[in-house]
């Protein structure tokens, strides 16, 4: 019964999101209510970027970011994939930052595990890809304040012994899968007696494995659940009371920047501070509504 209530609540949330409609116009989705005023010193500090903000992301992690084949008022061409466009919550955050800093946004599609190396090698200028500021990552790069907070949950197939789980202890002996080099994988070891499967490269890979039945559960961001359930009605999301679920050790997604880019870090944080919670919620809800099935 608890599981049924959880599922119905998520589906109700999805229906409410659908009613919100499509993304607003480019001006509406890429501008905050207030804006950062750049000084001459600020402009000079960004001159090495040559008028661009090159942002790396997977373009395969909806609703944060995904790939489309048709241009729209809100998506952005993917530089290294001709004829493709990046869309999603991360893209809208990146647009706001680039616009307020007077820079052209350039999106580069990259594998998740290559993002930090690409940043430090100068192939991109920022990571805006739902990346959290874990302690190990902070040794390699800097992070802004979070632009989106998260809660973790587990997703299982209906009709399995785990669909009625109410605690992490109920997953003792379960085969659980996560995404490589993310807390979606690291947190699995918090489940006592778990069979921690070898992580895969992406969330779509995780979902495919769950569909195939080669794992009992996958770790997900709870706020992404409505989209997963809409595309996979035989899935069930298992959430936990506060303090009793998986602890990722961070609050959410941040912008990743090189250690040397202190001025850009300060300016990016200043831009994020202009985006109030209501606007962030609206952008997130719209991304959930428009993500591909």
Same domain, 39 and 80: yes
Same domain, 155 and 230: yes
Beta strands 256-257 and 142-143 are antiparallel
Over residues 206-219, mean pLDDT: 97
CA distance 66 to 88: 6
- Number of domains comprising the chain: 2
Q: How far is CA 174 from CA 154, 171, 177, 242, 274, in A?
A: 11, 5, 10, 22, 44
Relative orientation angle of helices 89-100 and 277-290, to the nearest 10 degrees: 130
CA distance 242 to 137: 26
Closest CA to 286 of 10, 62, 20, 30: 20
**Residue 105: inside a domain:** yes
CB 199 within 8 A of CB 232: no
Over residues 41-61, mean pLDDT: 97
CA distance 6 to 71: 36
Q: Quick one: residue 167, left, alpha or beta (phi over 0 = left, psi -120 to 50 = alpha)? A: beta
CA distance 180 to 93: 24
Same domain, 162 and 72: no
Same domain, 142 and 186: no
Lowest-pLDDT choice from 4-8, 140-144, 193-197, 285-289: 4-8
**Residue 59: inside a domain:** yes
Does 19 have pLDDT greater than 90? Answer: no
CB 32 within 8 A of CB 96: yes
% the chain with pLDDT above 70:
89
Closest CA to 144 of 53, 280, 278, 271: 271
CA distance 167 to 268: 39
CB 180 within 8 A of CB 199: yes
Lowest-pLDDT choice from 132-136, 151-155, 191-195: 132-136
Same domain, 78 and 139: yes
CA distance 223 to 255: 19
CB 250 within 8 A of CB 186: no
Same domain, 47 and 134: yes
- Residue 35: count of CB within 10 angstroms of its CB: 13
Beta strand extents in the chain (DSSP E only): 52-57, 60-61, 65-68, 76-77, 85-87, 104-109, 126-127, 142-143, 148-149, 152-157, 175-177, 195-196, 217-221, 235-238, 252-253, 256-257
Over residues 123-149, mean pLDDT: 96
Same domain, 166 and 61: no
CB 179 within 8 A of CB 206: yes
In this predicted structure, what is the pLDDT of residue 283? 97
Same domain, 190 and 99: no
In this predicted structure, what is the pLDDT of residue 33? 54
Same domain, 136 and 255: yes
Task: Specify the DSSP class assigned to residue 74.
Answer: S
In this predicted structure, what is the pLDDT of residue 227? 87
Does 27 have pLDDT greater than 60? Answer: no
More confident residue, 30 or 97: 97
Relative orientation angle of helices 262-273 and 89-100, to the nearest 10 degrees: 110
Task: Find tokens 């085969």 and name the residue.
Answer: 175
In this predicted structure, what is the pLDDT of residue 251? 83
- Indicate the pTM of the whole model: 0.78
**Residue 115: inside a domain:** yes
């Amino acid at each position: 019964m608890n599981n049924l209530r959880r599922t119905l609540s998520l589906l109700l949330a999805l229906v409410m999101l659908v009613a919100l409609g499509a993304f607003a116009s480019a001006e509406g989705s890429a501008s905050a209510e207030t804006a950062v005023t750049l000084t001459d010193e600020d402009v000079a500090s960004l001159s090495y970027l040559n008028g661009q903000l090159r942002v790396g992301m997977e373009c395969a992690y909806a609703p944060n970011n995904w790939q489309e084949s048709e241009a729209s008022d809100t998506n952005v061409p993917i530089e290294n994939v001709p004829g493709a466009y990046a869309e999603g919550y991360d893209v809208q955050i990146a647009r706001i930052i680039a616009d307020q800093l007077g820079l052209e946004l350039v999106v580069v599609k990259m594998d998740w595990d290559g993002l930090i190396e690409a940043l430090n090698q100068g192939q991109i200028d920022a990571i805006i890809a739902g990346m959290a500021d874990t302690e190990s990552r902070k040794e390699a790069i800097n992070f802004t304040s979070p632009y989106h907070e998260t809660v973790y949950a587990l997703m299982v197939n209906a009709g399995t012994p785990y669909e009625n789980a109410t605690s992490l202890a109920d997953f003792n002996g379960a085969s659980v899968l996560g995404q490589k080099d993310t807390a979606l994988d690291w947190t699995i070891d918090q489940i006592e007696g778990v069979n921690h499967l070898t992580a895969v490269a992406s969330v779509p890979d995780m979902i495919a494995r769950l569909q195939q039945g080669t794992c009992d559960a996958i770790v997900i961001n709870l706020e992404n659940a409505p989209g997963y359930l809409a595309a996979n009605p035989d899935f069930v999301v298992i959430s936990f009371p506060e303090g009793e679920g998986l602890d990722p050790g961070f609050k959410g997604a941040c912008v990743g920047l090189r250690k040397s880019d202190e001025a850009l870090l300060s300016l990016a944080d200043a831009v994020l501070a202009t985006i109030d919670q209501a606007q962030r919620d609206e952008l997130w809800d719209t991304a959930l509504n428009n993500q591909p099935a």
